Structure 1
């Protein structure tokens, strides 16, 4: 029998203790946030309880790869999931499903089924939420810490491009988050000093 609660406590503790402090966005807060969003979307999309638990398991593990590395962290997350889930009553087929959902969150997102779509939407739920700018600032700090972006101008350009290309997959998220996300894209574009960028979008 699957031991989801035990796994949740174990992985939450591991993320809290072992993730480096420079990860100001990809931390336990983000994982719990995605878990909560996945649960809400699953209810809105009428996902059966048995499948919902597998979805929440994938949400829990989707960024555990950051414990080891940033690039290719999704595949690392799968390795970690395979190890712990096999010890906590998950079948090989269920573990494969969980890994399929985790791999779907790679950018650009590529879900192969409904559960994958929900996890992808939960992972980027914040793009259309009230706390977007706060979480975006945390991600900017993290990327600056790792020398991935150099300044706010570059960050705003990347965000505008990323958010413009992004799409929500589930009907409930398109309705709830898309209009707000569109508004944020315009706000970000208005901060970009090079007007050529704005005219080309």
Structure 2
């Protein structure tokens, strides 16, 4: 477990010191939120030892690439994560699992393993929570900063499209997040018709 704690300290330091302040959505708060949601899955699913460590490592590292690039951040994050995992003596098999976890979070998400499904659902957990509006506004603000100009109507359409195409992968998220997400979708559609 000390490997993970050392990597955690290093990853959080990188995020804290190297992430642009303009990343108001993909910032440190998002990574900590994903980690917290993963901890809930670990507790509910009774995931112990190595599986829990690898899931937490994936959660910590999944957006590290934003420290170097806004585009293709997953690949940049994998490079950073691989170096850290080598430094902290993660085995080649463990490194492969974490690389798979990071890649699975790329949208559209395509998780294959149980851990990948959990991380993907944790990454987009907010879609099915009451803080969806607040967090989606942070994403819009971030996109604008990075040169994506959207009218109010274009942003609504983008949200509708994303929520329609998105699928949760775990039984928990399908039961507890999907209904709330569908409510957000209805609400956004209703705003559009007004």
Distance, in Å, in 1 between the alignment partners of 2:45 and 2:153 is 38
Distance, in Å, in 1 between the alignment partners of 2:27 and 2:152 is 22
Q: What does residue 100 of structure 1 align with?
A: 100
Aligned residues: 194
Within 5 A, what are the aligned runs for 1:35-184? 35-184=35-184
User: What do you get for the CA RMSD once the two structures are aligned?
Assistant: 1.4
> Where has structure 1 moved over 3 Å in runs of 4 or more?
none
State the shift of 1:72 in Å. 1.0
Unaligned runs of 5+ in 1: 196-201
Unaligned runs of 5+ in 2: none
Q: Deviations over 1:42-81 (max 9, x none)?
A: 3223323320110000000000000111221111111111
Q: Is residue 5 of structure 1 aligned with residue 1 of structure 2? A: no
On the 8 A contact 1:121/1:170 being kept in 2, the answer is: yes
Q: Deviations over 1:21-58 (max 9, x none)?
A: 11110000000000111111232233233201100000
Q: Deviations over 1:124-173 (max 9, x none)?
A: 00001111111111111001111224222211110111011111100011
State the shift of 1:192 in Å. 2.0
Distance, in Å, in 2 between the alignment partners of 1:145 and 1:174 is 33
State the shift of 1:95 in Å. 0.6
State the shift of 1:92 in Å. 1.1
Distance, in Å, in 2 between the alignment partners of 1:113 and 1:21 is 33
Distance, in Å, in 2 between the alignment partners of 1:42 and 1:110 is 21
- With the length of structure 2 as denominator, give the TM-score of the two structures: 0.95
- With the length of structure 1 as denominator, give the TM-score of the two structures: 0.92
SS in 2 for 1:9: helix
On the 8 A contact 1:44/1:172 being kept in 2, the answer is: no
Distance, in Å, in 1 between the alignment partners of 2:9 and 2:52 is 18
